[in-house]
Amino acid sequence: MAVVAERAFTSRSTLQRVEAGDTNVSIGIYAGVLQALGLLDGLSLVADISNDKVGQALASAELPKHVHLKRPPGTSR
């Protein structure tokens, strides 16, 4: 635990809070711990839209059903 805390540039008590899932610990500390454990690459998956099916469905529901383009004056159909 001391080695991981040192590599994450944090204290052992903060590392214990991370292990407990304390939401008051900053995301930077979590990222440091993930880096120290060699797991930082997985953090990019958290914000990846392709992994958020609910978010995609909500965004699609807000898209307009029909789009009406404005034509410049003097143009014919």
Residue 25 has a CB neighbour count (10 Å cut-off) of 16
Residue 27 lies in a domain: yes
Which residues constitute the domain of residue 26? 2-61
Could you tell me the pTM of the whole model? Answer: 0.60
Residue 49 lies in a domain: yes
From the list 33, 27, 40, 39, the residue with the least C-alpha distance to 10 is 33
Residue 6 lies in a domain: yes
Distance CA 5, CA 69 (A): 58
Distance CA 26, CA 20 (A): 14
- Count of structural domains, the chain: 1
The H or E element containing residue 50 is none
Name the more confident of 76 and 14.
14
What is the predicted pLDDT for the residue at 77? 62
Residue 76 lies in a domain: no
Residue 16 lies in a domain: yes
Residue 66 lies in a domain: no
Residue 77 lies in a domain: no
pLDDT digits (tens, 9 = 90+) for 18-65: 999 999 999 999 999 999 999 998 888 877 888 889 888 888 888 887
Q: By the 8 A CB rule, do 32 and 14 touch?
A: no
